Amino acid sequence: MSAAGYRVGVLVYDGCFASEAFGIVDLLTLANRITAFGGEPAPFTTSVHAARPGTICVSGGTDLRAARMSYGLDLLVVPGFDLEPRQDIARRLAGLHDEVVLLRRACVRGVPMASVCVGAFLLGEAGLLDGRRATTAWLFADELARRNPNTVVDASALLVEDGSVTTTGAFSAAQDLALHLIRLRAGAAVARRTAMVALAAPGRTTQAPYIDETLRENANQAFSSRVRHDLLANLDQAYALATLAAAHHVSTRTMLRRFRAETGQTPLDFLQTARISRAKLLLESTSLSVSEIARAVSYHDTSTFRRLFAKAVGMTPSGYRHSFAGALE
């Protein structure tokens, strides 16, 4: 780390999420101000860079200007980008060729990298995720895994560090990344005070409570999409593989093979996760008891439901209700 502080640069590009880019900069700046109260030197210097000079149009249509890339950094952060429903990620990434080349050059020069949200796709496109563990926004984790078969993608992780590459989850994970950097470089006390001043949630470790299986449909998964729609429409019904296969005019073996090829899981795996998602919604929005919710999603043994819910979400049904009931209204 230089005498001027840990040098964090943010790569901005057309269509990137401005709040992910500048959320990092602003929280690190706030940490600098908090350390100044104690008479300590600023732990961070921040800068914003672009692959080429000129005007950058970030998400929402806002124009800004950024300096040409400087490789004298201790960390380069890649924010995520706006992506319309069913937009082809491959085509979107093809339009970011200059940024991918820049990331490869930065890697060769030994610059550590971090991504926020779907910024991980740019790291993957540059070959920086090969042989590593990674995460991204849970909604796009399956696609990241398909595009990077040599990467172990953990859809539920909020932040994954693997060597010189750090990846984080969706959108607001920019705050988690910033607090992580503050904790590492300025200490836990400064991180805690920064979180308190910013009203940021410290110590989050998982995306699991936020995963909604009803949103994970992929336009390139026609067969599995039809199966998933069928399963989602019958969450309260007993699961029978033979019945499901017959309804879609395939054998049970073909059902398992095709569904796994498109989704990486079995229909039952998907069904159980979807039931947990529906249970989370009911816990958030109704006053039904845990036992009533268990039955509503076809778990007639409440203790089994509690165990599966806790394993999938990382907290008990009652704990989830306490944390999230009314929080999204």
Place 219 in a pLDDT band, splitting at 50, 70 and 90.
very low
Q: What is the mean pLDDT of residues 24-30?
A: 96
Report pTM: 0.69
Is the per-residue pLDDT at 327 higher than 50?
no
Q: For 11, phi and psi rounded to 5 degrees?
A: -90, 115
Most confident of 9-23, 276-290, 313-327: 9-23
Domains with residue ranges and CATH for the chain: 6-207 (3.40.50.880), 212-324 (1.10.10.60)
Between CA 118 and CA 141 the distance in angstroms is 9
Mean pLDDT for the chain overall: 89
By mean pLDDT, which of 13-22, 220-229, 280-289 is the weakest? Answer: 220-229
DSSP 223-236: HHHHHHHHHHHTTT
Residue 73, pLDDT above cutoff 90: yes
Per-residue pLDDT of 265-311, as tens digits, reads: 899 988 988 899 889 889 988 899 999 999 999 998 999 999 999 98
Vertex 321, ends 320 and 325: CA angle to 5°?
120
- C-alpha–C-alpha distance, residues 145 and 262, integer Å: 12
Helix boundaries (H) for 109-172: 120-125, 141-147
CB burial class (10 A; 0-12, 13-18, 19+) of residue 85? exposed
Q: Phi/psi at 183 (nearest 5 deg)?
A: -60, -40
Q: Which residues pair with 48 in a beta bridge?
A: 10
Helix (H) or strand (E) holding 152: strand 152-153
Burial label, 324 (beta-carbon count in 10 A; 0-12, 13-18, 19+) = middle
* pLDDT above 70 (res 86): no
| 221 — pLDDT class (breaks 50, 70, 90) | low
Q: Is pLDDT of 171 > 70?
A: yes
Position 159 pLDDT exceeds 80: yes
Tell me, what's the pLDDT at 53? 79
State the residue for tokens 């030994």: 110
